[in-house]
Amino acid sequence: MAELEKLDMYIGGERVKPASGEYFETFNPYTGQPWALVARGGEQDADRAVQAAKAALDDPEWAGINATQRGAMLRRLGDILTANAERLGKLEVQDNGKLIAEMGMQCQYLPQWYYYFGGLVDKIEGAVLPIDKPDTFTYTRSEPLGVCVMITPWNSPLLLLAWKLAPALAAGNTVVVKPSEFTSASTLAFADMVEEAGFPKGVFNVVTGFGKEAGEPLVVHPDVAKIAFTGGAMSGTHVYQQAAAGLKKVSLELGGKSPNIVFDDCNMENAVKGAISGIFAATGQTCIAGSRLLVQESIHDEFVEKLVDFAKTAKMGDPMSMDTQVGPVTTHPQYEKILGYMDVAREDGAECLLGGGKAERPECGDGWFVEPTVFAGVNNKMRIAQEEVFGPVLSIIPFKDDDEAVSIANDVIYGLASGVWTGDIRRAIEIPKRIKSGTVWVNTYRAVSYVAPFGGYKQSGLGRESGQQAIQEYMQTKTVWISTATETPNPFVMR
Q: Which of 181, 371, 402, 473 binds ligand NAD (CB under 6 A)?
A: 181
Among 215, 290, 398, 463, binds ligand NAD (CB under 6 A): 215
Nearest to 267 by CA among 429, 72, 114, 444: 444
- Exactly one of 191, 239, 295, 470 binds ligand NAD (CB under 6 A); that residue is 239
Closer CB to ligand NAD, 131 or 452, in the complex: 452
Catalytic residue among 287, 364, 465, 473: 287
Residue 308 C-beta: closest distance to ligand NAD, Å: 26
Q: Under rule CB under 6 A, how many of the chain's residues touch ligand NAD? A: 31
Nearer to ligand NAD, 10 or 303 (CB): 10
Gap between the Cα atoms of 133 and 170, Å rounded: 34
> With respect to ligand NAD, which residue has the nearer C-beta, 75 or 178?
178
Q: Which of 211, 246, 377, 453 binds ligand NAD (CB under 6 A)?
A: 211
Residue 155 touching ligand NAD (CB under 6 A): yes
Dihedral sign from CA coordinates of 265, 266, 268, 274: negative
292 binds ligand NAD (CB under 6 A): no
Of 70, 75, 238, 292, the residue at the interface with ligand NAD (CB under 6 A) is 238
CB-wise, 80 or 289, nearer to ligand NAD? Answer: 289
Q: Let me know if 253 is a catalytic residue.
A: yes
Cross-strand pairs, 351: 376
Q: Which stretch binds ligand NAD (CB under 6 A): 84-92, 234-242, 261-269, 394-402?
A: 234-242
Helices 85-96, 157-170: axis angle to 10 degrees equals 130
Site for ligand NAD in 332-391 (CB under 6 A): 388, 390
3-state secondary structure of 285: coil
Nearer to ligand NAD, 94 or 285 (CB): 285
240, 250 contact by CB (below 8 A): yes
251 is a contact residue toward ligand NAD (CB under 6 A):
no
- What does residue 292 show for φ and ψ, rounded to 5 degrees? -110, 115
Do 232 and 35 touch, CB atoms closer than 8 A? no
Calculate the alpha carbon distances from 161 to 27, 179, 184, 379 in Å: 21, 9, 12, 36
HEC letters along 446-491: CCCCCCCCECCEECCEECCECCHHHHHHHEEEEEEEEECCCCCCCC
Minimum separation from the CB atom of position 177 to ligand NAD (A):
9
Of 205-213, 352-360, 401-409, 484-492, the window that binds ligand NAD (rule: CB under 6 A) is: 205-213
- Residue 219 binds ligand NAD, judged by CB under 6 A: yes
- Asked if 230 touches ligand NAD (CB under 6 A), the answer is yes
Query: Is residue 213 a contact point for ligand NAD (CB under 6 A)?
Result: no
Residues 435-494 that bind ligand NAD (CB under 6 A): 456, 461
Binding characters for ligand NAD, 398-417, by CB under 6 A (x = yes): ------------------x-
- Whether 148 is catalytic is no
Rounded least distance, CB 227 to ligand NAD, Å? 8
Residue 104: which region, alpha, beta or left (left: phi > 0; alpha: psi -120 to 50)? alpha
- Give every CB contact of residue 470 below 8 A, 6+ residues apart in sequence: 117, 163, 167, 453, 464
User: How many other CB atoms sit within 10 Å of the CB of residue 487?
Assistant: 6
Report the residue number, 151 or 408, with the smaller CB distance to ligand NAD.
Answer: 151
Using CA atoms, how far apart are residues 422 and 402, in angstroms rounded to an integer?
A: 11
- What b-and-e string marks burial along 346-363, b requiring 16 or more CB atoms within 10 Å of the CB? eeeebebbbbbeebeeee
- Choose which of 9, 121, 160, 295 interacts with ligand NAD (CB under 6 A): 160
Q: Look at the alpha carbons of 406, 412, 413, 419 in this order and tell me if their dihedral is positive or negative.
A: negative
Q: What are phi and psi of 155, to 5 degrees?
A: -75, -35
Which residue is catalytic, options 253, 388, 465, 473? 253
Catalytic residues: 253, 287
Per CB under 6 A, residues contacting ligand NAD are 151-155, 160, 178, 180-181, 210-212, 215-216, 219, 230-232, 235, 238-239, 253-256, 287, 388, 390, 416, 456, 461
